[in-house]
Amino acid sequence: MKLAKISFGLACSFALNAFAAAPNDFDNDGTSDITRVEIQSDQSLVWKAVLSSTSTDFTLGTIGEEGDHLIMAQWLGAGTQIGVVSEESDGDGLVWSILDNSGNKIEKIFGDKGDLAISGADFNGNGFADAAVARLVSGRAEVEVAFDLFVEASPSTQKFNFGKSGDRMFYARLEASGADWLGVVGKGGRGRANARMRNLVTGEMRRLSRFPRIAVQGARPRPFAIRQEQGADLVAFQTTVGSKTRLSIFSLDGARVASTDVAGTGIAVVGEFTSGSGYEINFQGASESVVISPSPLQVSDASYVDGVAADEININVVGTAPNPDPPSDGGGDSGSVASCSSTIGWPSGHIYKTIGSTHFSPGDVRRNTIGVVIKPGGRGPFPSCIRAVDTSGKVVAQLGLYSRNDGWAARYYAGVGCGTGTPFNGAAVASRARSNTGSSRVYINFDGICYGPIDASICVGSSQC
């Protein structure tokens, strides 16, 4: 998913009337290959897959660097292409880059810094992935779509308003074949989830009045779609319950299809991992991997891989807008100090750790990444995602909400949730901040309230690191 700002949610894309064209199928055997990204010492990203036909590790190529966002998708309509989206080094745009089937790099400029980049959907249903970006303009979400971005020299585009501040975007298919629909979900009356879907080809709009309430509760997990052989997609949600991860799967009309808990934290990706009907979830935990088939519910062991698990579902904010009208992340913002509603000194109830506690197992991502732990009664807010920003406002790491009310008011870790793509320790965060500003001091942005500054290389309130 991300190597991860509106977090408006997720889904995946596959060729029109070609359900057998599995995503991430690099050996062309009709089964998805478990794919990952490894960060090298020079910060480059090496992509690898465990080929389902031979159970062997295969290197797909090298593209991108630490901090880029993944955009693996069926961009060329023939297999899956690996790629990243990053900030333009000498401008305010976003650079979308992929490797074609011969290993050649293709680049396109689309979108602006600070936009939400939406990758993997096929909005016109022609078998080629389309690119989309979204940004907030005066509290409303402005969406721009570039159809067949890497196929056409001058892709056709469409721009429209859809959604508002605080909504989460996702995409899914409402029929077994055809195009992906863009969706937004937010909180309606009586705490209900209010979801709307838009077909970008016909302009048709549908309201999902029974969308799962879990989408607007607690940490507000993002929905991601699971393609079905017949009928509409299912949507899944990943949440943390104590020391476990819960995968909850629903139909688009809100009916619960399945729910299962797996040990520890990790990353859920989607693909055709078994010969069963419809797609499945592969959950890569700290030291184990399982495949979850939703209907009927079946859980089986799968290949475990080091690195960051990846699939064709990618929705992430890229960079910080030069003049931010902050994107929404269920209450988050662009990460810019200038856009904070207030800047407050580090609270006594907040603990900052440069590495995790030693009681975490060696394979637990929390052991070697920064964390923010808030004592009982500690000051909020408690959004699902917080961001470490340097003194210029540039995001240097993200931390996802791990848990609430389990002896602590809240616990956040890089490498978890929205921080999956920034599994950095304090030294790495300090280094990134210094390279931007000359200072290792950072603020931690909680839903527009920035606490700090603190030195990212030094623990605050903890003697365990």
Ordered by where they begin, the domains of the chain are 34-316 (2.120.10.30), 335-455 (no CATH)
The CA distance from 133 to 327, in Å, is: 11
- 357 in Cβ contact with 369 (< 8 Å): no
Two tokens, residue 193? 């989830």
Burial 168-185, CB ≥16 within 10 A → b, else e = bbbbbbbeeebbbbbbbb
User: What per-residue confidence (pLDDT) applies to 344?
Assistant: 82
**What per-residue string of b and e applies to 312-338 under the rule 16 or more CB within 10 Å gives b?**
bbbbbbbbbbeebbbbbbbbbbbbbbe
- Show the low-confidence residues of the chain (pLDDT under 50): 1-20, 323-336
pLDDT tens for each residue of 226-285? 999 888 999 999 887 777 888 999 999 999 999 999 987 778 999 999 987 789 999 988
Closest CA to 29 of 58, 52, 49: 52
Would you state the pLDDT for residue 24? 94
Cβ atoms of residues 186 and 204 within 8 Å: no
The confidence score (pLDDT) of residue 377 equals: 81
Output the CA angle 166-164-235, nearest 5 degrees.
65
Give the pLDDT score at 463. 63
CA distances for 91 relative to 150, 290, 321, angstroms: 21, 42, 11
- According to the model, what pLDDT value does residue 273 have? 95
Question: Which of 449, 395, 447, 445 has the alpha carbon at shortest distance from 424?
Answer: 395
pLDDT of residue 464: 62
Q: What is the pLDDT of residue 321?
A: 59
pLDDT of residue 355: 87
**Mean pLDDT value across the chain:** 84
Token pair listed for 238: 């990943």
Predicted pLDDT at 1? 40
234-241 vs 244-251, strand pairing mode: antiparallel
Residue 154: partners with Cβ closer than 8 Å, 6 or more residues away: none
Alpha carbon distance 387, 334 (integer Å): 9
Structure tokens at 418: 């929205």
What the block records as the tokens of 85 is: 């989206």
